A = this chain, B = another copy of it.
Amino acid sequence: MNAVPMSLRAGIRPEVERMPESGIVEVANYGRGRDGLIPLWIGEGHRPTPAFIAEAASRALAAGETFYTWQRGIPELREAIARYTGRLFGRAFDPERFYVTVGGMHALQMAMRIVSGPGDEVIVPTPAWPNFEAAVGVNGARAVALPMIPGPDGWVLDLGRLEAAITPRTRALVINSPSNPTGWTASRDDLVRILHLARRHGLWIVADEIYQRFVWDPGLGAETGRTPSFHDVMEEDERILFLQTFSKNWAMTGWRIGWLEAPPELGPVIENLVQYTTSGVPAFLQRAAVVALEEGEGLVEEHIALARHNRQIVCEGLRATNVVELPSPPGAFYAFFGVDGVSDTRRLALDLIDHANVGLAPGTAFGAGGAAYLRLCFLRDTAVLEEAIGRLAAALPRLASRRAA
């Protein structure tokens, strides 16, 4: 797939050479810079980072906080993360559980390095954020896709099939709830059953709960303001690695800052992994992250309210085209929808750039079971979303019928 000439290609590690190109990056690169394009392909809001956060970084820069820093993160940020997590779950957390990372991706990279390598398998329910499978594969381990089941009421994770997918080589389960891209959200009962299953088989859980504040289903936490979490059902020092990020809640996608939560006993291992992968996160960025956690609650609530409002507009608008299949997602801020007669959404996503000037992520990017869907991020300005829905409503029926023909 990659245009690497033989002489160089022959010298590259096979697990690196066969890494999939991100189907999202491919489409984004295709559309980048087009005049008037509405980009809804990436999980990213439209607002730049607010000044009260950005200025904290600038102040730290001006104060000269430009030296090497703690590999685990500055103590002030680890403490702020512990307090934030404590507020969310109503109990105290040890700051030693939290390790500052270069975004959620770096947290994922380290988690996968801890739990999997050559000869190992990691089960990933799909459709899924493609980086899960890639982060497993680049270590020489095998990601085992477990396709979730689409239904009229949304996606279902069949726990019987999950258990059946476990082999002696299985080392970990990736549980992403709410899910990007499907919006599937685990109930507390799901989490208990998954945890028991993991314990029974001695597996790690890699828990991506980064969308936990974006929940719309009353049965899944819409009133409490957060979804059920493994934090609700786990013991201390359980084999669970949590991925988190500042990207979405605090409009900091481009900052590349997040955290890994792990049992404190893994501290020396994680400190080493940070040292030997990135050597830490700039202290001046961490200062801004502290401010985000301590003063950013209003910002998070604005994002949640915006996403809730937009979810209805997007779902209704897309369904009104009569060529779209889309159960309302219970969590997260994506519409993951099928288009009548279309099975190759990679081509459709490129066509929609040319014909609607709207950028969507092709479901082909999200692994097994995703190829018939498109992902639209609705954490955007409402007026822009309405414009995008209008353009899609004009283009989709044409493209849908053209492909069905």
Contact = CB atoms under 8 A, between A and B. Distances in A.
A115 B12 contact: yes
Interface in A252-294: 252-256, 263, 265-266, 268-269, 271-273, 275-285
Q: How many identical chains are in the complex?
A: 2
Among A106, A202, A269, residue most surrounded by chain B Cβ atoms (within 10 Å):
A269
Interface string A328-340: 0000000000000
Interface in A52-68: 54-55, 57-58, 61-62, 64-68
A117 interface: yes
B263 A8 contact: yes
Nearest to A58: B58
Contact of A66 (B71, B253, B277, B280): B253
A11 interface: yes
A85 interface: no
A102 interface: yes
Interface in A18-64: 19-22, 25, 42, 44, 48-49, 51, 54-55, 57-58, 61-62, 64
A334 B395 CA distance: 64
Given A5-B265, A11-B202, A61-B54, A131 B256 contact: no
Given A4-B265, A275-B134, A276-B134, A42 B68 contact: yes
A106 B22 contact: no
B113 A16 contact: yes
Contact of A8 (B51, B117, B265): B265
B19 A237 contact: no
Nearest to A272: B19
A135 B65 CA distance: 27
A217 interface: no
Interface string A135-174: 1001010000000000000000000000000000001000
A19 B275 CA distance: 10
Contacts of A269: 2, 4, 12, 16-17, 19
A254 B284 contact: yes
A68 B44 contact: yes
Contact of A279 (B15, B69, B105): B105
27 contacts: A2-B269, A3-B265, A3-B268, A5-B265, A8-B263, A11-B115, A16-B114, A16-B273, A19-B269, A19-B273, A20-B272, A21-B272, A25-B271, A55-B61, A57-B58, A65-B254, A66-B251, A66-B253, A68-B254, A102-B256, A103-B279, A105-B277, A105-B278, A106-B278, A140-B140, A254-B283, A277-B277
